[in-house]
Structure 1
Amino acid sequence: MSSFSLAFASATFPCNSSAMVASPHTTIRAHSNQGANNTFLSSKEFRKPFLQLPRFSQNNVWDIAPSQNMAIKDKNNRNCRDIHVAAIAAPPAITDVARESQDGIGIIDFLERRNFLVTGVAKVLIEKILRVAPNVRKIFLLIKAKDEQAAMDRFKGEIIGCELFKCLQQKYGEGYTNFMLNKLVPITQEVDVIINSAANTTLDERYDAALVANAIAPSRLLSFAKKCRKLSLFLHLSTTFVNGERPGILMEKAFQMGESRIDSSTQSKLDVHHEINLVSDLIETLPPNEVPQKLKEVGLARARMYGWQNVYQMTKAMGEMMINAGRGRVPVVIVRPSVIESTFREPFPGWIQGYRVLDPLILSYGKGRLPGFLVNPDTVMDVVPADLVANVIIAAMAKHGTAASPSINVYHAASSTVNPMTMCDMFNYSRDYFAESPLTNNQGDEIQIADMEYFSSIDSFSSYIQKDIAEKSGLSKEIGPNSNPKQRCRLEARCKRMAENLIHLAKLYEPYMFYRARFDSWNARKLMKQLSTEEGNKFPMDLRSINWEDYFANAHIPGLKRHVIKKASSS
């Protein structure tokens, strides 16, 4: 029997000296006591999805052991007693700071009067708050570590030195590091706003893992929110793709418990508790070595049965349902971004951490490894830069956090109805960029690429990519009398792996490459119109202002080369 444990890992959320930093990346991870082939969760523990959120103990330890079978583990699966929780306190108020105009939403005034607790990877959001509202009270940060020194080392290494925060580092100079290190304070329940951006975004994840991260964890965080005496808003970051595969214009509408994406009178309602019990039964009855693959298959099958394209979309929708059903009088805002890519302008163009949705396609194309793909070239790919998403979040929480009305409001941060870009456009922009600034191979030679080939079926794409790999590797050449059988065998195996990886990528992305819906953003546009002129300049969110060709040529692809390719090659 495997034990279920929660591990809280800090994201690299730096802050500036003017505000207290904080913002945790809450990673939920389950460990097996019997190796990788064992179950992810015990069935007994999986049936307890609504356990109370961990409490804060007096010695500043994040206590998350609601049962004897639950424990905190480090990366080596050893028990960790201490999860050191720290935040950076704001400096004394600066009396001569000019207040924002009374017109508009009052974003700056809202930010400077609140304490924030953030979960998930939200560096761009945190940087923006600290840069524009240096008198923000507190933003809480959780750091997972085995002891105090390890927590401090991780804080210095992963937070203070992050390049994204170079504007703040330049502003505060030599006092930047010392100020933050001297302002660490324990986390408390004195938070005004909770921003939940933690999620498992793997498209083909195991059903149990996706359920825990995307549905159960937000419900637990909401339970904690109800205990915060000063709470004025619970903001949940979701995705536009919770709308499933319905064609047409999809509206900014909150989910009700039991909703599916199938328009059928014969389709039963989606029962979240039943899905949890279904997964628990599978874990309990299947042989351990069959559980991982079976849970992936069941997750995909259940998602498609209810009208979603993958387990990520469905479990994110479940999370929204559970928040709406359990919110009581807690004010809730749900922000649904589409495909988040690198920053447009702030704090500088092109910042990105790791591969996002489109990046494997762009870089594989630029490296000459993906000359064709399974995609409708006329499909509208809804893209939104990370800094504009942050601005929508900030404006929405200022508007509804000030009112603190016990309602639920939904915003789409999406471009497909106001500034659409097709997949053909994206590949053409990439082709033009790499023609001017080609990537190089291991020998230092420039890689030349041709126009992208488009395929409408997985069979035609599979045949094409296998042939292309064989030709480029020399595998398709006739076997000569002096050929080495062992070398050819290794080459065949390598080519097979490359083809399998690209075919798997095509199958994984197929729903998005033929997506027929667009996302309405009326609420977000209405919010934008409510900003004052000064707020509009500080928190731009108009996606119509983006020239996509310029964005890809001068921000996104250069950012990929700097922040993704360069770091990958140096690691």
Structure 2
Amino acid sequence: MLTDTSASMAALNNSSASYSSSVSDFYNGKTLFITGCTGFMGKVLLEKLLRSCPGVAKIYLLIRPKKGQEAQERLQQLICSPLFDTIRKERPLDLHKLLPIDGDITQPELSISPNDRAVLERSVNIVFHSAATVKFDEKLKLSVTINVLGTQRLVELCKRMDHLEALIHVSTAYCNCDRYEVKETIYPPPIGPDQVVSLVEALDEDLVDSLTPKLIGNRPNTYTFTKALAECWLKDNKGTLPVVIIRPSIVLSSINEPVKGWVDNWNGPTGIIAAAGKGLFRTMLCDPDKIADIVPVDMVINLMIVSAWRIGSSPTKEISIYNCCSGMRKPIKWKDFVYYCFKYSRKHPVMDVSFYPSGSVTSRRYVHAIRTFLWHWLPAYIIDTVVQISGGKPVLLRIQDKLHKAADCLAYFTTKEWRFDDENVRQLAMVLSESDREEFCFDVAKIDWNNYLENYVLGIRRFIFKEDASTLPMARKQISKLFWTYKIIQVLSIMCMWHFLTLRYAPLRRLWSNALRLLVHLARMLPFI
């Protein structure tokens, strides 16, 4: 039985005049609670709320002490990111609205102290839950602990909040990747969340690992599986909570805000593109004609902020679900994505490139296997051997091993295609005022892929590799030298191969001799023409 969201979406057909305030005004005086604020999406959410909703009263942040750093120290480190440059320059006092809460999503009661829980229960109006493990190859026990149990623990806290107006849960469009067409509704997984939780809590981790393939069924990894479980549990246990589920597809760098191309992690395609820019990755298993459903992080965040406004302004008992995807309205194929990334990796190269950035994708596994050996493993083995003989520390084989594990995790998504219905997202945009549509834009139809992917590559250069724009001229000189080296190697390889073939096959040898004689004859005639 599918969850019917038609009733919850009916209000979206009304005029925007039925809403008493703009999105920004809705947040005036509100107290927020955010999980996952130190993650990629959480940082962008935090910055956008501070910058575009200045009337926010307080933002409590669940932060886990890590590596000897307390929550307050981690918060200070977070707001020193280039992402918060505008806030620090224009409204530095707004940073005092950020209040860290010591806690841990994997622990009972989120490991929040009784005093802090009491503060949250009597003051919070809006909750954004983006804490999750996004590792595709995470062990099922930990993935369930974070993505399912963590959600359950947060919901139990939310049920005790006296003034809660919205709970925004971040899921993924791929939680239902076992079906081609995915509507904005909750599909029941083959095994219930309570059963899975009971299993992983009762069984030894090694036994859970051995059962994982059977438990996740047609889904490719524990991430998509546990996200589906969390949605199913929310449907059955939310009670009267005002819940919204946001399902983004593949989230990449920002398109506009607060900095074009901002990205701060190696997850998903970013690590592969970064390695390709270094010349270390040249082939990938991928269907070039399938759609790459990519969405900029700031558009996802804008949708989250607006969805809280929507359910807070027009409460509904049903779960509102939004598929935040680009494939229906602004599709781009994988071959075009790869083309643009290589193009701009050569136009805006990083320093210390190992090989000239070039390569291709294929959906044929045997072709991919041959290319992988010739372009990845063989050069890495040769170079590491030379480095080791000369007394250095070999690293290329280890790097290639990590890259191939990441590529294998992505292969499921780069060789398949889905149809994500986004009617609820379109209807939500229609009830916004023109100014809110501009300030909180999540219209994927406005994406210019050429421009966006150029800024994405520049963002990898600036924020991942930490390279200043002043190093570009030197990097371009290096890439120019690598280009001519690459071309010379190509010509020499073709000549060697042809020479080998002509030595073995008499017809080819005669053809080669005749071609040479013809070229000599033409050369002699040139002065007389």
> Normalising TM by the smaller chain, what interval?
0.7 to 0.9
How far 1:240 moved relative to its partner? 0.3
How far 1:105 moved relative to its partner? 6.3
**2:301 match:** 390
List aligned pairs for 1:43-442, cutoff 5 A. Answer: 106-120=22-36, 121=39, 122-145=42-65, 150-156=70-76, 158-172=77-91, 187-189=119-121, 190-247=123-180, 249-255=181-187, 259-260=188-189, 269-283=190-204, 291=205, 295-303=208-216, 305=217, 307-441=218-352
Return the letter of the residue paired with 1:107. V
Task: Say whether 1:448 aligns with 2:361.
Answer: no
Contact kept in structure 1, 2:31 and 2:126, CA below 8 Å: yes
Contact kept in structure 2, 1:208 and 1:279, CA below 8 Å: yes
How far 1:456 moved relative to its partner? 2.0
List aligned pairs for 1:503-522, cutoff 5 A. Answer: 503-522=404-423
What CA distance in whole angstroms lies between the structure 2 residues aligned with 1:328 and 1:133?
29
Per-residue CA deviations over 1:139-185 (Å, capped at 9, x if unaligned) read 11234459x995544433x1332221111111136x567x5699999
Q: Secondary structure at the match of 1:562?
A: helix
How far 1:473 moved relative to its partner? 4.6
Return the letter of the residue paired with 2:146. A
Which of 464, 472, 496 matches 2:371?
464
Task: Say whether 1:529 aligns with 2:430.
Answer: yes
Contact kept in structure 1, 2:58 and 2:99, CA below 8 Å: no
Which of 437, 449, 457 matches 1:548?
449
Further displaced range: 520-529 or 179-188: 179-188
- Structure 2 alignment gaps of length 5 or more: 1-15, 102-114, 469-529
How far 1:509 moved relative to its partner? 1.4
Contact kept in structure 2, 1:113 and 1:137, CA below 8 Å: yes
Q: Secondary structure at the match of 1:118?
A: strand
Return the letter of the residue paired with 1:475. I
Contact kept in structure 1, 2:247 and 2:321, CA below 8 Å: yes
**1:96 match:** none
What CA distance in whole angstroms lies between the structure 1 residues aligned with 2:452 and 2:89?
26
Per-residue CA deviations over 1:466-511 (Å, capped at 9, x if unaligned) read 222355357399xxxxx999739999x8665455434423321121
Q: Secondary structure at the match of 2:239?
A: coil
Q: Secondary structure at the match of 1:412?
A: strand
What CA distance in whole angstroms lies between the structure 2 residues aligned with 1:525 and 1:162?
33
**1:538 match:** 439
Contact kept in structure 1, 2:281 and 2:376, CA below 8 Å: no
When the two chains are superposed, the root-mean-square deviation of aligned CA atoms in Å is: 3.2
- Structure 1 alignment gaps of length 5 or more: 1-99, 261-268, 284-290, 478-482
Question: Structure 1 residues 131 and 386, CA, compared in 2 at 3 Å: closer, same or farther?
Answer: same
What CA distance in whole angstroms lies between the structure 1 residues aligned with 2:270 and 2:356?
19
Q: Secondary structure at the match of 2:251?
A: strand
What CA distance in whole angstroms lies between the structure 2 residues aligned with 1:280 and 1:341?
34
Per-residue CA deviations over 1:209-234 (Å, capped at 9, x if unaligned) read 01111111101111111111111121
Question: Structure 1 residues 180 and 280, CA, compared in 2 at 3 Å: closer, same or farther?
Answer: closer
Q: Secondary structure at the match of 2:240?
A: coil
Contact kept in structure 2, 1:105 and 1:530, CA below 8 Å: no
Contact kept in structure 1, 2:290 and 2:415, CA below 8 Å: yes
What CA distance in whole angstroms lies between the structure 1 residues aligned with 2:302 and 2:367?
42
**2:458 match:** 558
Normalising to structure 2: TM-score of the pair?
0.74
Return the letter of the residue paired with 2:272. L
Identity rate, percent? 25
What CA distance in whole angstroms lies between the structure 1 residues aligned with 2:342 and 2:388?
37
Contact kept in structure 2, 1:372 and 1:455, CA below 8 Å: no
